[in-house]
Amino acid sequence: MATASGEGILMIEDARLDSGATDNDPTAVWLREAKAGDASAFEKIIVLYQRQVLTTSLRLLGDLKDAQDASQEVFLRLYKYLHRFEDGREFPPWLYRVTVNVCRDLQRRRQRTATLSLDDLVESGEMREPASSTDLEAELGLAEKRSFVKEALKRLPEKERAAVVLRDIEGLSTREVAGILGSSEVTVRSQVSSARMKMKLFLERRLKRRS
Amino acid sequence: MNCNSFEEWIALYVEGDLDPSRARNVESHLESCASCQRFLKELEASQAIVKELAAESLDPASFNVVRKRVMQEVNRRQARPVWWRFLSSAFAQWHPAWAVSLAVLVALGFLLQWQLWRKQAGSDRPDGPPTVSMPAVPKESPDSSRPSPSEKAEPQAPDGGLEITQIARRQVSPAPHDVLTPDEAQPDAVAAETEPPVEQGSNLQPKEPLPADIAPEPPPPLVIKLVTDDPNIVIVWLVDQEVDHN
């Protein structure tokens, strides 16, 4: 929920998938008002969902400036295609889908990331190498952990990254992720499994280098 | 199943993503496999680190930058004239497939017009097969109740056909003597002219084809390019402009 105060800087709470579109749902009301041309209603929608959009973009792109550009594009697309959004439809999954698509387009345009190939790791022997420590959490500081995870995410293939971000970091169910990505649940499970193993290897390798 | 196959399942089992029967398989394997037990522990540790990222909070200023930029653009768009917003909204609802379909229809129409023009231009040559032009029969003619031969030949030919014929005559082979004036247009004469070319051609000497060195160069093909909304889709239409040497 977001409440306006002063110039519109606002208390932000997380908008999750459980906010179904009903008449009592503020999102549904604001969407109707925004469709009718009410800019302030549209701004309320931005405030409510900016965390979802910006953090997801950041995890998919790995760079705050890129994530802000992507978030801007997501909300402008939302504004442009607001009339296509049917009343009664769940809004957050739709917004996740737009976010994933915008980030994918942006990333393809910029072509920055090098992907981490699991096969390369296997060939280099790192796949078979036992971890130097089984207690990764105890050895890493919080900032370092986040930094390593972001680096690992950046190096995952695009589809695996999207699947693991939505499933493990955004905390959506496999079914919801499949709906957002337009894939089957089996495909999402396979992508998530592969991504988790790669992330584990990457984190272990980083920890070994660090120590 | 070997341990490598189990690792893929363990990567799902660790977050409860396996169906119950497979989860039981994994559990029974884990009881007897120290290597997979270690793999599971390592995976649990790495997953805990990955999930730390979910708790990361961003500076509110980062959100405000986005919101302000979006609202500036929204207000700019709302300040546009009503007619502009109406058009934008109308075209925003266009599906790309509709635009492509329309483009193809326009292209087909253009091609049809072009073929008609070529046909008319070819038939206007002095030694070509005789044709009847629509203007030759005035609508107010006393015989207008009777279907004219030209109507028999091309029953669908509307007034538009007249326009094409005249343009063709002007542009390709101006031969005013070929155009029948309303005074000259006698129904019988018209009927005679619509006889099949073979019979007409009996009075004509068949022409020898031009030698290759005298024959004019064939014109380059006409290129019609249709650019769609999608920059990856460009419809290119090549229309061969044949020269009739007869």
For B105-138, what is each residue's pLDDT tens digit? Answer: 999 999 999 988 988 887 665 554 444 444 444 4
* Mean pLDDT value of segment B219-238: 78
Is residue A123 helix, strand or coil?
helix
Determine whether the interchain pair A169/B63 forms a contact, defined as Cβ–Cβ distance below 8 Å.
Answer: no
Residue window 40-69, chain B: list those with CB within 8 Å of chain A. 41-43, 45-54, 56, 58, 60, 62-67, 69
DSSP alpha helix (H) spans, chain B: 3-13, 20-32, 34-52, 60-78, 82-92, 96-123, 149-153, 159-171, 187-193, 197-201
A203 chain-B contacts, CB cut-off 8 A: 46, 49
Answer whether residue A76 shows pLDDT above 90: yes
A9-13, A52-56, A101-105, A165-169: segment of lowest average pLDDT: A9-13
A42 chain-B contacts, CB cut-off 8 A: 71, 74
Question: What chain A residue is nearest to B46 in terms of C-alpha separation?
Answer: A200
Question: What chain B residue is nearest to A54 in terms of C-alpha separation?
Answer: B63
For B3-17, what is each residue's pLDDT tens digit? Answer: 888 899 999 999 999
Answer whether residue A57 shows pLDDT above 80: yes
A170 chain-B contacts, CB cut-off 8 A: 54
| Most confident listed range (A38-42, A191-195, B86-90, B207-211) | A191-195
Please name the member of A12, A55, A189 whose beta carbon is closest to the beta carbon of B12. A189
Band of the pLDDT at A192, cuts 50, 70, 90? Answer: very high
CA distance B71 to chain A (A): 7
CA distance A63 to chain B (A): 12
A6-20, A88-102, B54-68: segment of lowest average pLDDT: A6-20
Band of the pLDDT at B196, cuts 50, 70, 90? Answer: very low
Determine whether the interchain pair B66/A72 forms a contact, defined as Cβ–Cβ distance below 8 Å.
Answer: yes
Residue window 14-33, chain A: list those with CB within 8 Å of chain B. none
| Most confident listed range (A174-183, B92-101, B201-210) | A174-183
A72 chain-B contacts, CB cut-off 8 A: 66, 69-70, 73
Chain A with chain B: Cβ pairs closer than 8 A: 137
Answer whether residue B237 shows pLDDT above 70: yes
Q: What percent of chain A has pLDDT over 70?
A: 74
Quote the pLDDT of residue A120: 58
DSSP alpha helix (H) spans, B33-59: 34-52
A164 chain-B contacts, CB cut-off 8 A: 50
Band of the pLDDT at A201, cuts 50, 70, 90? Answer: very high
For A170-182, what is each residue's pLDDT tens digit? Answer: 999 999 999 999 9
Is residue B234 helix, strand or coil?
strand
- Cβ A2 vs Cβ A47: under 8 Å: yes
* Mean pLDDT value of segment B180-192: 42
Rounded Cα–Cα distance for residues B169 and B117 (Å): 10
Determine whether the interchain pair A131/B8 forms a contact, defined as Cβ–Cβ distance below 8 Å.
Answer: no
Quote the pLDDT of residue A115: 56
Mutate to test the interface with A, among B8, B22, B57, B67 (most CBs of A within 10 A): B67
* Mean pLDDT value of segment A86-110: 89
| Most confident listed range (A53-57, A82-86, B196-200, B224-228) | A53-57
Rounded Cα–Cα distance for residues A125 and A120 (Å): 9
Quote the pLDDT of residue B176: 44
Rounded Cα–Cα distance for residues A48 and A10 (Å): 9
Assessment of whether the complete model's pTM goes beyond 0.80: no
